[in-house]
Amino acid sequence: MNKEKYLEMTDAFLRQTGRDEIPDRITRDLRFCLDEQQKRLKEKGITLHDEFAFIDEAVTGAAEVSQKNNRTPFRGISAYRETVRIRDIYSAGKRIMHRREPVTFYACIVDKQGGGDVPVNCPNCGHASMASRLQEGCPYCGTHFAMSELYPRISSCYCVNNIVERTGLDERLKKVFLRIAAVFFVIFMIIVSVQNIRSGDYPIWAAELFAVLESCLLTAMMTFTAYMAYGFFLIGKVFHQFGSVLPMVTGLSSPGKLKTFMEKYDPQFFVRIFEGKMVSLLEAVLYSENRENLSIYEGNDDFSSFEGLVDLDYRGVFRLRDCRVKGERISVLLEVFTENCYEKGIVKRRNERILVRMERRTDAVTDPGFSIHAVRCGGCGGSFDAMHVRNCPYCGREYHAAADDWVITEIRKKS
């Protein structure tokens, strides 16, 4: 496996995010989701800026995470980088959150044997180009397409909090505790010398000398206590994190179970593709202001509890709650572990589990080859992203492009 290639994709993603650009080597579902998020933030007058620090000696790597007994041409790769995420959120130009936290960033990448860019002719105007250039629509005639994904692509990503920022930790600790010691010393000096002088037992020079000695001793004791308290604080943090990670253990066997169930209907079913799609579509639906027009959402849920949602962080684990066939459709119910940012004047973060039901026709299968076809509205000839949007944005006519793929039929918070 070419680890370098995947790490490079991951780093490019982080750099582009830091420049407030939409990263380019991502699946179309993820792009759609990021677009919907940008739209929502813009409407609310909010700017969210994430910056990722590239630190020296960061732990990086890439590991294959394909499903067991993988017989598909797809490969799942998890690429990771230790970094510091600096997040700023502005509302109406005023900063309402600034957070700097050590994290490990994970990119879930899907690759395909014999994948990559292919030369194609625009099915509409015949313009010769690479498929990757046509993803956003033909640069000549503006036509949009329904086409296979061009792997490798990042299909989802998430951050795992680290307990401390490892790099330069010793230096920072030294600095902090030197400052604490200095403050303690000054306080003790004042208290002790005032006491000693007041008591009048010693001449002033002796009173001051004792005060210095006593203060040194007290400072040493208190600084040590503070250091111990910091240690307990870290242990507390570890337990806290452990407590929030523990329930996720129940989801560890879910990808395997889902694969076993789905293989009967779709031999090319690949869990990581499904997972990326599920997270992207879930987010897109939650951010969307116009859910009736999403072809990927057929539900009728109450979204009032998601009011103020500005960012959803997938925590990298889902749990399969139920999978069954209902009539001509496969229906799977998933519990998705997320950490979400809500803006209501101030920003609050919450760990939440969201129940998502996804459905697909039983006869729909993953096409491992490459296909492309132009999307044109039968009413007005307009061309648009018909994989995600139900109605032609020009004339309103309904277009059925996504009938073969997964749709979300239900979203609710797990209480």
Tell me the closest approach of the beta carbon of residue 377 to Zn ion, in angstroms: 3
Q: Does residue 133 bind Zn ion (CB under 5 A)?
A: no
Q: Does residue 394 bind Zn ion (CB under 5 A)?
A: yes
Helix (H) or strand (E) holding 189: helix 169-199
Q: Does residue 164 bind Zn ion (CB under 5 A)?
A: no
Q: Does residue 147 bind Zn ion (CB under 5 A)?
A: no
Q: Does residue 138 bind Zn ion (CB under 5 A)?
A: yes
Q: Does residue 122 bind Zn ion (CB under 5 A)?
A: yes
Neighbours of 280 (CB within 10 A): 25
Q: Which is nearer to Zn ion, 125 or 249 (CB)?
A: 125
Q: Does residue 130 bind Zn ion (CB under 5 A)?
A: no
Q: Does residue 382 bind Zn ion (CB under 5 A)?
A: yes
Nearest to 20 by CA among 102, 87, 114: 87
The CA distance from 389 to 208, in Å, is: 79
The CA distance from 329 to 281, in Å, is: 18
The CA distance from 90 to 333, in Å, is: 36
* 361-380 binders of Zn ion (CB under 5 A): 377, 379-380
Q: Which of 59, 141, 190, 206 binds Zn ion (CB under 5 A)?
A: 141
Q: Which is nearer to Zn ion, 233 or 394 (CB)?
A: 394
Q: Does residue 321 bind Zn ion (CB under 5 A)?
A: no
Which window, 182-190, 222-230, 252-260, 387-395, contacts Zn ion (CB under 5 A)? 387-395
The CA distance from 231 to 89, in Å, is: 31
Q: Which two tokens stand for residue 93?
A: 């130009």
Neighbours of 48 (CB within 10 A): 18
Calculate the alpha carbon distances from 386 to 134, 288, 342, 378 in Å: 15, 16, 30, 12
Tell me the closest approach of the beta carbon of residue 389 to Zn ion, in angstroms: 11
Q: Which is nearer to Zn ion, 83 or 383 (CB)?
A: 383
Q: Which of 64, 95, 114, 140 binds Zn ion (CB under 5 A)?
A: 140
Q: Which is nearer to Zn ion, 73 or 379 (CB)?
A: 379
The CA distance from 130 to 59, in Å, is: 35
Q: Which is nearer to Zn ion, 140 or 224 (CB)?
A: 140
Contact 283, 157 (CB under 8 A): no
Q: Which is nearer to Zn ion, 234 or 403 (CB)?
A: 403
The CA distance from 26 to 408, in Å, is: 21
Interacting residues with Zn ion (CB under 5 A): 122, 124-125, 127, 138, 140-141, 143, 377, 379-380, 382, 392, 394-395, 397
